[in-house]
Structure 1
């Protein structure tokens, strides 16, 4: 057997594996035709394979529904088994993928906490799969500066350019296990700002969520807000965010006529990557907070928020382990 996929001459069938020509093209485009330094380790090669996987899912599958959607592990195995330059390492594919997964959780992550003009709401995004919400953020590229990564990731996930609003000295930083997460505080964004992700099949919804609604539902369920939102990667930052707000006055005072529920500003249409604007009804082994503060004036909102961060980290650890 040559390892090539056999294809019938009949019409395409649903959930077909990608043909050899497509795999060759993806391997050539994303693995072979890259700088030599990106081919010097399996970690870097797997990042390239991941880019190829995104391209396959976002373009090939979308343009040809007969193709089967694959997980990253399935796609990696398929590419290694059908690309000549990767075939010699097929016997070690499980170890290579395991090492890559371990490596990914050590790559620093940066993003932004976007606050409205009253500091009562923040922008949260929900992933394409699953139901957890988070601040827009993502992993740093090689040699990329923290603030530039944050600008890039926020733009990709929300379509909003924070480059002119981001202050490199205003951030909250935490460490989860071996991964450093830095979120820059971008405050004073108008609530009628347009948001829509630039990437496909990564974000399913973008919403202004009320900070008061992000308070934990009860002491036993720290990772859920009082409205039921899943907030594993939001909750650990709330205490430091509250401290920042208490020292920075909002440009506009809170208004009593504002909606009391979260507001969805973008949502993917069912089965597509289109958008629609609607109003919604709505363990880390170690966690170290590092927040830079510069103003001493009290804020006007989010002042009564209190909780013990310890259970949050236990909830996150349980979520990551499941």
Structure 2
């Protein structure tokens, strides 16, 4: 008859086998679940053998698989602790394994957040047509990663029972000092984010502020560059620029153009009545300009004033000026054919007399 094993060894061996079985069976279940999710996502993708949203879905699935396998290992370890008296009465190994599992989980989650967040931000910039801003995002990526790694470290230390009161106080003091030191750069960065998100103007838009008019050439973190119509490059801080009233001529779905005509007060009524039709015909002969109206507005000193309005369905200043020139020349030619004379320009008002008397 063979030797009889010690009951404690039998219990330990049985607990070890149960723990291994739970780890293996649980890991197999996680593997099957992840594989089923991957197949379902591939069927939902617009093209076969591809996952939707680029690298986001693989990141989520890989992180889910890692956390699932880790959960199975912790489950098997808890089963082993419950079945082995030595581990049950000695909390040291259990604390060590629990701490290591929590550390691995924090690393997996923080890596997932960092990679997913940066990838989503980069995708958003590309979809918004701001590929030039991706370099700025890559420059800020180390700061974003450090922020989430710091938060993950605080969560891990708090779960381990480390007193964080002194750490929080130190971080608060450091944050105040850092905020005072970075007040200027932070203000520049917030102004830059305002331009990127609110989009009062974009690169290439023709904008005007104060006495400056020109297209936007560059939008940086601290300043923006505008090329004036005279050719000089104007650099202005984003914070100062946002405090001004900006006229964005590049964001016009269509441009409304209103002009006044001063014609001779000797013009016969029949010719005056025909002027709206003449102007309308000239404007309609120059597409894409669209005619709106033309009216005899008032009797002025020595003149009859007409006003006409047309629209230019283009935000380009060059297109607008070309159409305006062609329409003006067409009106001038039509008036010369009809013998319609323009009025003399109004006389300048007399200069005010100086107060007081000589001598």
User: What's the TM-score once normalised by structure 1's chain length?
Assistant: 0.25
Structure richer in helix, relative to its length? 2
Higher Rg of the two aligned structures = 2
With CA pairs under 8 Å and 6+ residues apart, which has the higher RCO, 1 or 2? 1
User: What's the TM-score once normalised by structure 2's chain length?
Assistant: 0.23
Structure richer in strand, relative to its length? 1
